[in-house]
Amino acid sequence: MPLVRRLGRELLAPMFVTGGLDALRHPDTKVAKASTVTTPLADAFGLPDDPVLFVQINGAVQVVAGSLLAMGRWPRAAAFALAASLIPTTLAGHRFWNETDPQSRAAQRIQFLKNAAMLGGLLVVVSERSR
């Protein structure tokens, strides 16, 4: 595997592993923001509306898939799982369009765009052909 490809995957992974561990350890700090996404998802799929459980599941997915990506194991599947977990995380956590304070709005926009950039990197991994 080319060094650049391996390094790119390894640089994407730690953000997810650390974020996932934080979600597993401290889900309550994310529940208020997460419920803006988890409640509609629970309603749409007939699931129990338990934002703490959703946050913890999302965190577990990020830890496992981030670790797999870092180790180069099933990188396309791991990147796909991370991309799928990143979308609701971003929509819940960085709703810059709802911020009224200009500084908070700018900070949330930066975080939203950072997550969009990470999503782009993950999609590149998903689209890689095996060699």
Token pair belonging to 37:
């996404």
pLDDT in tens, 63-93: 999 999 999 999 999 999 999 999 999 998 8
Q: What is the pLDDT of residue 8?
A: 85
Determine the distance from the C-alpha atom of residue 72 to the mean position of all C-alpha atoms in its chain, rounded to a whole number: 18
Listed residue (105, 64, 103) closest to 85, CA to CA: 64
Q: What is the pLDDT of residue 129?
A: 80
Q: What is the pLDDT of residue 1?
A: 64
Listed residue (37, 62, 33, 35) closest to 51, CA to CA: 35
pLDDT in tens, 35-56: 889 999 899 999 899 999 999 9
Q: For the chain, what are the domain ranges?
A: 3-127
Q: How confident is the model at residue 23 (pLDDT cuts 50, 70, 90)?
A: very high
CA distance 22 to 10: 19
